[in-house]
Amino acid sequence: MDSSAKTGDKSSCTWKKVCQTKVWIPTIVIALIIGIAVAVTVVLVKGGDDSEDRSPANLKWWQKTIVYQIYPRSFKDTDGDGVGDLKGIVSKLDHFTYLGVGAIWISPFYPSPMRDIGYDTTSQVDVDPLFGNLTDFDLVVKEAHERGIRVIIDFVPGYTSTDHPWFQKSVKRIKPYDEYYVWADGLKLDNGSIVRPSNWVSSFGYSAWEWNPERQQYYYHSFTVSQPQLNYRSAHVREDMKNVIRFWFERGVDGMRVDAVAYMMVSSDYYKDQPNSGADDAEPWQMHYYIPTETQNVPDVGPVVREWRELLDSFDDSDENTDHSKFMVVELYDLPEVRNRYYDYGADMPFNFDLVTAINPVYHPEHCDAICIRDEIKQEYDTLPEGKWANFVLSNHDNMRASTRIGPRYADALHVLLLTLQGTPTTYYGEELAMLDIQVSFEETVDPWGINYGPDHYREVSRDPCRSPMQWDTSHNAGFTDADKPWLPVHPNYHTVNVETEKNSTNVTTLQVYRDLASLRSQPSLQHGEIEFGHVDTNILSYLRSANGHAPFVVIINFGNVTVTGDFSRSPVDARQGQVKVVTSAAANEGRFRKGLDVSLESLTLYPGDGLVLQL
């Protein structure tokens, strides 16, 4: 669902021009000299020296791996219905072994009428027949674990389908289900008429309050009218949702991604209107017309997330030889001072979507150059709570693909960036190929958000273009399905952009570059070493990754549209020469660089889209 990508108020960087305000917390580096002749190394980006906490022995599995998001409808179809399924995931697990990916996150596969493409569940403890059954899911876990791959599920805690048995019982006021959802009486005006309780608007547009004639009350929905909001002020709801977590972790899953956590609870005052945002591109029926003071990130969500943390920890039977820690990442689009609260609540990390929004014309109409990218990265490090772990995301199922946003020539450069930063990277399926968004007509549109906006405006919000089928090979429908027609069209470039072709090409491909980067991430300096920015201008981003006692690496990327020659030997690099360990495909295929080549850092020329990882 995750429409949190496009909510919007002036306190959140979430919707087009409304959210350009940033809060910068400057890095403060303090050198303490104790005793005589004590040398202290000061980290430029993050203050202090916590190398002991960041040593390989102390890192959890989710800090060392790449997380790969699978959108199951679009990954691989094995039964010929045009929709991907769990057996399809099993059939392609060796792809992750090839890539060097150690964790997969599977978007929702639960029973659903699919009015919001699976985020409207009728059960949270089963598999929709469209995707298979529980035996198939158990096979995914078993086969993945045999390959050393962790499995993360999508946990959808905030709402269900109106078809869910809980909601049907709540409508009839059957206890305790009568309190399972957010219900409110209408507001009685002086003239005797009854109106909706407040001006709260759904993320998909129009009022978030829907009248139920049987119960004679309004129910609240953050997204579609078929997704009523669960009431976490009910102890019964909290316990039932913890039972959902128990169900899946008892089946062996390793982590959960919490969907739309910012929307999970609303204010207890259902009659309090939200203030106008002042957005000049919004209308009253759109969510970003208001500041969501009552409907997002309410403080009451904290204790709920802490309960989940305690429950996950009860499944952790790690010892000195095995890491069975259970992972929780939460999804919200917001500024650091908001999202970082979730570290305190018990999440291992809140998704950091700063690069998704910065390198995206929808959210950031002004071009985000290399300085802008550096500042977005630096903000993550500078505002990170003490002892917590950073993360970065470039794409997901709610936003344009990275190659569509920035251009295919820069796809490798973005991978160089994502996979060499300090912190956990998340990759959206197909990004390793530089897949592009598809063109979808209104008649082909499946996304309810796009349908809600109608034929004149559906392109502004529809998420269908980034959800096209995975491109496996050059066969019919890119090897995704044997069906005549997949659920969404396959991109017409699949004859050249696909796993088989890119894997076997004698030229360097985006897939091969991605694999090289994934392999290189096991080096201590890239896995847990600190980061220091070097030369940065509007075109060039460079930084040093280093860990005590291990070979350092310098990363240099040209995000500009002009060729640049520069001196990259100065501080913090302090080296005249480096050996190429990873080079982007165009630079390699055009003969300008190759792996293993020793190059001078004093005069290095990079074309637009070039990226290098050099060992010093």
Catalytically active residues, by annotation: 259, 331
45: nearest Cα among 378, 455, 503: 378
**What φ, ψ does residue 541 adopt, rounded to 5°?**
-120, 125
The C-alpha atoms of residue 203 and residue 260 are separated, in whole angstroms, by: 11
CA pair distance 112, 326, nearest whole angstrom: 27
Q: How far is CA 387 from CA 53, 54, 120, 280, 533, in A?
A: 8, 9, 36, 40, 21
The tokens of 546 are what? 């280093």
Q: How far is CA 55 from CA 59, 100, 520, in A?
A: 6, 21, 17
Partners of 218 in the beta sheet? 184, 211
| 138/39 Cα distance (integer angstroms) | 53
> Which residue in the block uniquely carries the two structure tokens 């208001």?
290
Non-local CB neighbours of 546 within 8 Å, separated by 6+ positions: 525, 529, 530, 532, 552, 553
Residue for token digits 């219900």?
Answer: 183
Q: Are 558 and 609 spatial neighbours (Cβ–Cβ below 8 Å)? A: yes
Q: Decide: residue 561, CB within 10 A, 0-12 exposed, 13-18 middle, 19+ buried.
A: middle
Q: Give dist(CA 178, CA 195) in Å, integer.
A: 22
| CB burial readout 431-448, b (16+ within 10 A) else e | bbbbbbbbebeeeebbbb
Burial of 311 (0-12, 13-18, 19+ CB in 10 A): middle
Check if the beta carbon of residue 613 is closer than 8 Å to that of residue 555.
Answer: yes
Task: Give the strand pairing for 194-195 and 187-188.
Answer: antiparallel
Parallel, antiparallel, or unpaired: how do β-strands 391-393 and 424-428 relate?
parallel
Residue 103 CB neighbour total at 10 angstroms: 24
> What gap in Å lies between CA 395 and CA 404, rounded to an integer?
10
Torsion from C-alpha of 531, 532, 535, 540, nearest 10 degrees: 20
327-330 and 67-70 beta bridge pairing: unpaired
Quickly count helices (H) and strands (E) in the chain: 19, 21
Specify the long-range contacts of residues 550-553, CB closer than 8 Å, at least 24 apart. Answer: 550/523, 550/524, 550/525, 551/523, 551/525, 551/615, 551/616, 552/525, 552/615, 552/616, 553/420, 553/520, 553/523, 553/525, 553/526, 553/581, 553/613, 553/614, 553/615, 553/616
